[in-house]
Amino acid sequence: MGRRICGAMSHSRVRFATRLGVRLMEATATAAAPPTAPVSGPIRGLPPGPRMNRAVQTAIWSRRAQWMLEQCRARLGPIFTLRIAYEGEWVIVSDPEVIKQVFTGDPKVFHAGEGNQILRPLLGENSVLVLDEKRHIGQRRLLLPPFHGERMQGYGEQMQAIAAREIASWPTGTPYRLRPRMQAMTLEIIIETVFGVRGGARLEQLRDALRGFLDLTTDPRFLAPILALGPDRIRAIPAFRRRTDRVDALIAAEIAARRAATDLEDRDDVLSMLILACHEDGSPMSDVEIRDELLTLLVAGHETTATALAWAVERLVRHPAKLERLREEVLAGEDAYLTATIQETLRLRPVISIVIRRLTEPVELGGYELPAGASVTPAIHLVHRDPRIYPEPESFLPERFLDEPPGTYTWIPFGGGVRRCLGAAFAQFEMTVVLRELVRRHRIRPADPAPERNYRRAITETPRRDAEVVLG
Ligand code: HEM
């Protein structure tokens, strides 16, 4: 997945470096000419990049990633190099043809798991996110069936009940920040549909432990040491061990109970399906494999979907006519405008700005022969703002997707190829259910008419005021 934060620099140093870097970038805004196409054959080496050193580039990236991408693209063209601490070189690409080459490239050459090693202490050795090549495909094969599009209806009823319950508890007539509530809702949905745990003390315990675990993925108090110590030494920190041990014990108990259950064939939660799933050689998944994948689905699917939902509301309330059209169509039982609204939200406010592939051997791309070890990084944010693909790219226009479905390499909020988000259908279905429920029940207006800017929370770009609205 696209990542990450600014290493172990203190906040004030990050702020200083960002300010300095932003000034430098603005000062040199016209300095570098776009690279010209080579007369014969590709240019060997990395495309040009901003002139600031790695620390300053990292500082800007950690706070204003999307702005940085836009500035570099304007100055340097559709392919350029960023130098980010702990990450080596990122060759940012934004041309759909080049992105197609990356997404359809040989998975032996384009590694995604290698760049996600930081997640290994949390998600384990078997997580589909940290693996590459044969082992990655093996785990992904096991996870695909529960996430097939046609399975979604099965989760619909639970999702709808959770959304209705949660939304009914929100206050009306007063400013209210939706993102944290969306997050509570997506957590609840994952606990029921993925872990298959419903109601009672077990649910409470699991919810509490998973929340503690999720903090490890977003709280800078944990992220900074993970980066500083590296994935292998992080378990030395007692607070880290306590939280992961607690989650592990609860998941182990859940897996044991489910293995002993007699109604597995009739259950449609993901855990039950994983217990029944078999590797290619016919062997079942081990407890540790199941644990690793459950936590992977939780981490990959919970904050991302909540943030996308928050952005959908943030955009809609600033376009009252579109919100009204959505409401009318939903009340009439139609979903076309709702689907287009979700697609447009994910285009204009992609939750993740980039995805990363580390090269295991030299590759020719976009006029360059890139060296092994560099990372090729399709910039979701830049493709989605390309005026040649999307006229009026800054405008929120769900209508653009009514007649024409999104393109495979021009609409990439879920990445692509053999690493494309496993939960893409799940997330869009969940967004449909939640938004339908919300607009049916409430009139919504913004707490403040000014649009919300984006704010970086670990890997996701969230609305700065958490999608603050007033419900009526
Ligand atoms: C709006 C919500 C979501 C967004 C924007 C999103 C985005 C992404 C992106 C950009 C990637 C990386 C793709 C690549 O490298 O090409 C990814 C991977 C992944 N996502 Fe999602 N995701 C969302 C929701 C979910 C949900 C709900 C789940 C599961 C419950 C999920 C599970 C995964 C998994 C397992 C991977 C790793 C796939 C692999 O490496 O083979 N995601 N997601």
For residue 247 and ligand 1, the question of a CB distance below 6 A is answered with: no
Q: Convert the pLDDT of each residue in 188-227 to its tens digit.
A: 999 999 999 998 899 999 999 999 999 888 777 777 777 6
Token pair in block for residue 359: 């090269």
Q: Which atom of ligand 1 is nearest to the CA of 418?
A: 41
Bridge partner residues of 365 (DSSP): 368
Q: Which helix (H) or strand (E) holds 457?
A: strand 454-457
* Chain mean pLDDT for the chain: 91
What percent of the chain shows pLDDT beyond 70?
91
Q: How far apart are CA 429 and CA 148, in angstroms?
A: 11
For residue 107 and ligand 1, the question of a CB distance below 6 A is answered with: no
In this predicted structure, what is the pLDDT of residue 22? 58
Confidence of residue 408 (pLDDT cuts 50, 70, 90): very high
Is the Cβ–Cβ distance between 2 and 356 less than 8 Å? yes
For residue 427 and ligand 1, the question of a CB distance below 6 A is answered with: yes
Single-letter residue type at 28: T
Single-letter residue type at 216: L
Single-letter residue type at 81: T
Q: CB neighbours of 127 closer than 8 A, spacing ≥ 6?
A: 119, 120, 139, 292, 293, 295, 296
Ligand 1 pocket test target in 155, 188, 297, 421 with most atoms within 8 Å of CB = 421
Report the SS3 class of residue 411.
Answer: coil
Give the burial string for 209-227 (b: 16+ CB within 10 Å, else e): bbeebbebbeeeebbbbbb
Q: Convert the pLDDT of each residue in 276-289 to its tens digit.
A: 999 999 999 999 99
State the DSSP code for 356.
-
Query: Hunting for tokens 């200083």 — which residue is that?
Result: 16
pLDDT at 123 over 50: yes
State the DSSP code for 317.
H
Nearest to 373 by CA among 125, 131, 115, 119: 115
For residue 396 and ligand 1, the question of a CB distance below 6 A is answered with: no
Q: How far apart are CA 324 and CA 143, in angstroms?
A: 38
Nearest to 140 by CA among 275, 296, 250, 4: 296
- The upper half-sphere exposure of residue 236, i.e. CA atoms within 13 Å in the direction of its Cβ, equals 9
Our CA dihedral for 222, 224, 225, 230, rounded to 10 degrees, sits at 120
| DSSP-assigned states of every residue in 370-416 | EPTT-EEEEBHHHHHT-TTTSSSTTS--TTHHHHSPPPTTT--TT--
- For ligand 1, the distance from its centroid to the CA atom of residue 459, given in whole angstroms, is 12
Q: How far apart are CA 132 and CA 109, in angstroms?
A: 10
In this predicted structure, what is the pLDDT of residue 1? 47
Report the SS3 class of residue 348.
Answer: helix
- Residue whose CA lies nearest to ligand 1 atom number 11: 421
- The upper half-sphere exposure of residue 370, i.e. CA atoms within 13 Å in the direction of its Cβ, equals 30
Q: Convert the pLDDT of each residue in 39-85 to its tens digit.
A: 678 999 999 999 999 999 999 998 899 999 999 999 999 999 999 98
pLDDT at 6 over 70: no
Is the Cβ–Cβ distance between 370 and 359 less than 8 Å? yes
Confidence of residue 23 (pLDDT cuts 50, 70, 90): low
Mean pLDDT of 6-23: 52
For residue 128 and ligand 1, the question of a CB distance below 6 A is answered with: yes
Mean pLDDT of 402-410: 96
Query: Hunting for tokens 């992961």 — which residue is that?
Result: 244
Our CA dihedral for 210, 213, 218, 223, rounded to 10 degrees, sits at -170
Q: Convert the pLDDT of each residue in 314-371 to its tens digit.
A: 999 999 999 999 999 999 999 999 999 999 999 999 999 999 999 999 999 999 999 9
In this predicted structure, what is the pLDDT of residue 149? 85
What percent of the chain shows pLDDT beyond 90?
78
Our CA dihedral for 320, 324, 325, 326, rounded to 10 degrees, sits at 100
- For ligand 1, the distance from its centroid to the CA atom of residue 353, given in whole angstroms, is 13
Strands (E), 85-172: 88-93, 110-111
> Within 93-132, where are the H helices?
96-103, 120-123
Q: How far apart are CA 353 and CA 412, in angstroms?
A: 10
Q: How far apart are CA 445 and CA 425, in angstroms?
A: 29
Token pair in block for residue 83: 């130098």
Q: How far apart are CA 221 and CA 437, in angstroms?
A: 36
Strand order across the beta sheet in which 79-84 lies: 79-84, 88-93, 375-378, 357-359, 110-111
Q: Which atom of ligand 1 is nearest to the CA of 140?
A: 41
Q: Convert the pLDDT of each residue in 135-157 to its tens digit.
A: 999 999 999 999 998 889 889 99
In this predicted structure, what is the pLDDT of residue 16? 55
Q: How far apart are CA 74 and CA 63, in angstroms?
A: 19
For residue 419 and ligand 1, the question of a CB distance below 6 A is answered with: yes
- For ligand 1, the distance from its centroid to the CA atom of residue 296, given in whole angstroms, is 10
Mean pLDDT of 423-447: 97
Report the SS3 class of residue 91.
Answer: strand
- For ligand 1, the distance from its centroid to the CA atom of residue 299, given in whole angstroms, is 9
